[in-house]
Amino acid sequence: MQALCRAWKKYKGQIKCHHFKKYRTKKQMIRNRPLHIPKVQFHKLIQYWSLPEIKAESEKNIENRSKQTCPHRMGSTGFGIVRKQLRDSKENNEEPSRAEIFTVTLSSKKEKEIDPKSQATIDELKSRIETRENHEDAFVQALGKDQPGRLRCYGASITKASLKKHEEIRQVKVECNDMVSPLQKQIEGVCGLLIVMMQQINPGMS
């Protein structure tokens, strides 16, 4: 559902950019409207985007986005894929820390220069980790606490609550496997004993 919401938001942004902001008058906007949107509906959309409070909200959002630092530089590659690649590259399949994910996703594959703010943050992370500071503590100290409902370096759909729940489920699975493994060996032993007994009773039996 969150992926659908992001796709819908992106679609609306493209419509607004190419068919609303690009033109000065409503007449030009209507004339150059997207053909798949009915004229009546697009006219209502123009009226909505032209409302003072909607314009003010849009400008505030633009200003907030301009304040964002340390942009993700992996293109369409998500944090989940990067996390799996790092985990697979380790001998014991250890889960990568957020500090590792952050450093990888801010480094350019084409070896382009990293912006000063990102480089300074990466250097601070490395410095803190080199002094034997915990990876998670180093990450929080360098970038600050996460905003409510979001968790850096995990993707848009992951929160602290969902991550905790996932860890609890994983732990239950591990405990179940630990219980099932000895039981399975016992069942295999009993089956082997039954086969031997049946062959003694029926020597010609396969």
What is the band of 21 on the pLDDT scale with cuts at 50, 70, 90?
Answer: very high
The answer to whether 9 touches 61, Cβ cutoff 8 Å, is no
Which tens digits make up the pLDDT trace of 178-205? Answer: 777 788 888 888 888 888 888 888 877 7
Which tops the pLDDT comparison, 160 or 156?
A: 160
* Residue-level pLDDT at 203: 78
User: Nearest CA to 20 among 39, 40, 45, 37?
Assistant: 45
The answer to whether 136 touches 142, Cβ cutoff 8 Å, is no
* Residue-level pLDDT at 37: 93
> Per-domain residue ranges for the chain?
2-66, 79-143, 162-206
* Residue-level pLDDT at 29: 94
Residue 118's alpha-carbon distances to 101, 129, 192, in angstroms, are 13, 17, 62
One-letter amino acid for residue 170 of the chain: R
Q: What is the mean pLDDT of residues 10-39?
A: 93
Question: In this predicted structure, which of 40-44, 53-57, 120-124 has the lowest mean pLDDT?
Answer: 120-124
CA pseudo-torsion sign 137, 81, 150, 58: positive
Per the prediction, the chain carries an average pLDDT of 85
Backbone angles phi, psi at 115, to 5 degrees: -65, 150
CA max distance for the chain:
97
Using a pLDDT cut of 90, give the percent of the chain over it.
Answer: 26
pTM here is 0.58
Tell me how far apart the alpha carbons of residues 145 and 7 are, in angstroms, rounded to a whole number: 28
Which tens digits make up the pLDDT trace of 47-84? Answer: 999 999 999 999 998 888 887 777 777 777 888 888 89
Which tops the pLDDT comparison, 129 or 167?
A: 129
Tell me how far apart the alpha carbons of residues 72 and 78 are, in angstroms, rounded to a whole number: 9
Backbone angles phi, psi at 127, to 5 degrees: -65, -45
Q: What is the mean pLDDT of residues 157-172?
A: 80
How many C-beta neighbours within 10 Å does residue 139 have? 24
The answer to whether 26 touches 49, Cβ cutoff 8 Å, is no
Tell me how far apart the alpha carbons of residues 27 and 4 are, in angstroms, rounded to a whole number: 32
* Residue-level pLDDT at 111: 63
